[in-house]
Amino acid sequence: SAVSKCPEVPFSSEAYRISATSRGKELRLTLAPLGPGTPQDLVFRFGMSGSFRLCPAAQLPRHAHLRFLTRESPPRALCFVDARRFGSWRLGDAWQPGRGPCVLSEYQAFRENVLKNLDDKAFDKPICETLLNQKFFNGIGNYLRAEILYRLKIPPFEKARTVLEALKDQEQARRKKNSSLTLSKKLKLMRENPDLLELCHTVPMEVIAAEKNLFDPDHSDNYAAFKNWLQCYLVPGMSSLRDRNGRTIWFQGEPGPMAPKGQASRRKRTRLKADPEALTPKVATRVSKRRPKAAAKPPKPAEDEEEEVAARPRKGRSHRRRKVTTAPTLSEPKAPVKAKRSLRTTARRGRGEAGGP
């Protein structure tokens, strides 16, 4: 499409076959001519919203940035659709350098790559941040990390090395204990008592096994099915914090010792800077819906309601503030400020003094 910044695809053929291979978060398409010609490879990254869709050529979806057309009548188009344009493709068959073994197709190599490199500085970070490092966890994304940690009840901001070093000892003990077991019994034990690295393989496999129900664009309820599969990510009642990369992690229970301190939403931070007397809020999983029984105030616009709730002072402060602002019942009404100024000006003029401008 004209708005795409990805490279032109220098390929033309009367008839060709498209095949695909995935590895982690990348997909390689191969365009192979059925007659003379040289195959063309493209490697895709999907970003947050990229996907492929097959549709009538006369009804192209919005943001269809690359189209492969059929010769049938009427023609159809296989489209790479990406509304946010975070996705991309590049020419050639090479996977992006620096990505580790795939958690799905290269599980054993993936597991060994993690356990033998635990001295890497990447494992000094919280486990929720390390799980997004594609050098070691190629294929794990934001919703998968939340689901994996939730199933094992691992705090997301526990140090990654602390979590993973324990797997070394467990693996050695398990090998000694299960050395006489058959392969089928070993697989059964692994399914019944999975560790974190095993869930990095099996949880994505659950999605793949049910992908027609979860992600088929022709099913109107596909997103509802995906939401029903989720146990933690975006689930009501779960807590959430932003990690140091700005990505939101969903979890249940305590966040862990490396959780960010004093975290607040952007609108709340803006309000706190404007009010230096406001108390520093603690990280909370929910915004309280309790409203103080304050005296009548003028209504605020709807867009300010969230800011008001987020920056509301604690009960003690609002109670003190009400005591201060409550008018005494026996006091005489005070003259308006403008009236006072006019009386003083009149007095000065009566004494022959010069008034202000």
Cis omega before residue 74 (within 30°)?
yes
Q: In the block, which residue shows the tokens 């992006």?
A: 96
- Residues pairing with 239 in the sheet: 251
Look at residues 235, 258, 281 and tell me which one is the last residue of a structural domain.
258
Shared-domain flag, residues 125 and 244: yes
In a shared domain, residues 151 and 73:
no
How many helices and strands, by DSSP H and E, does the chain display?
A: 12, 9
The predicted model gives 189-206 an average pLDDT of: 84
CB contact at 8 A, 199 and 146: no
User: Would you say residue 102 lies in a domain?
Assistant: no
Residue 330 lies inside a defined structural domain of this protein: no
| 249 and 129 in a common domain | yes
- Of residues 291, 246, 237, 251, the one with CA closest to residue 265: 246
Helices in the chain by DSSP H: which ranges?
A: 107-115, 127-130, 142-152, 160-177, 183-192, 196-209, 211-215, 222-229, 266-274, 305-310, 315-325, 337-350
On whether both 87 and 114 belong to a single domain, the answer is no
Output the pLDDT for position 174: 66
- Tell me, what CATH number does 60's domain have? 3.20.190.10
Band of pLDDT at residue 183, cut at 50, 70 and 90: low
Is position 32 within any domain? Answer: yes
The domain that holds 224 is classified in CATH as 1.10.8.50
Contact 116, 218 (CB under 8 A): no
Is the model's pLDDT at 297 over the cut of 60? no
Q: What is the pLDDT of residues 147-181, one digit of tens each?
A: 999 999 999 999 999 999 988 777 666 666 666 65
Pairing type for strands 26-33 and 248-251 reads unpaired
- What pLDDT shows up at residue 304? 37
Look-up of token digits 């990348």? 26
309 band by pLDDT with thresholds 50, 70 and 90: very low
221 and 161, same structural domain?
yes
- Residues 190 and 112 both lie in one domain: yes
Q: Is residue 312 one of the residues assigned to a domain?
A: no
Is the same domain home to 82 and 113?
Answer: no
Domain that holds residue 125: 107-258
Contact 200, 148 (CB under 8 A): yes
Same domain as 144, residue 64: no
Residues 76 and 148 reside in one and the same domain: no
User: Does residue 167 lie within any of the structural domains?
Assistant: yes
Place of tokens 């933690």: 232
Task: Find out whether 30 and 93 touch, Cβ atoms under 8 Å.
Answer: yes
Instruction: Dump pLDDT digits (tens) for 215-268.
Output: 555 555 667 778 889 999 999 999 999 999 999 999 999 999 999 988 743 333
Residue 200's pLDDT band, with cuts at 50, 70 and 90, is very high
127 pLDDT higher than 90: yes
Q: Are residues 183 and 83 in the same domain?
A: no
> Number of structural domains, the chain?
2
CB neighbour list of residue 251: distance below 8 Å, 6 or more residues apart: 128, 146, 149, 150, 155, 156, 232, 238, 239, 240, 241
Report the candidate in 203, 206, 26, 202 with the shortest Cα–Cα distance to residue 100. Answer: 26
Report pLDDT digits (tens) over 73-97.
999 999 999 988 899 999 999 999 9
Least confident of 97-111, 273-287, 335-349: 273-287
Q: What are the φ/ψ torsions at residue 63 (nearest 5 degrees)? A: 65, 30
Task: Note whether residue 8 is domain-resident.
Answer: no
| pTM score | 0.66
Domain boundary among 258, 276, 311: 258
User: Residue 140 to residues 31, 285, 322: CA-CA distances in angstroms?
Assistant: 28, 25, 51
Structure tokens at 152: 């094992």
Answer whether residue 81 is part of any domain.
Answer: yes
Question: Residues 117, 252: one domain?
Answer: yes
Q: Is residue 347 part of a domain?
A: no
Kindly state whether residues 132 and 239 are assigned to the same domain: yes
pLDDT of residue 185: 59
Last residue of a domain, one of 194, 223, 258: 258
pLDDT at residue 71, rounded to an integer = 87
| Band of residue 4 on the pLDDT scale cut at 50, 70, 90 | confident
DSSP percent split of the chain into helix, strand, coil, nearest 5: 35, 15, 50
Name the average pLDDT for the chain: 76
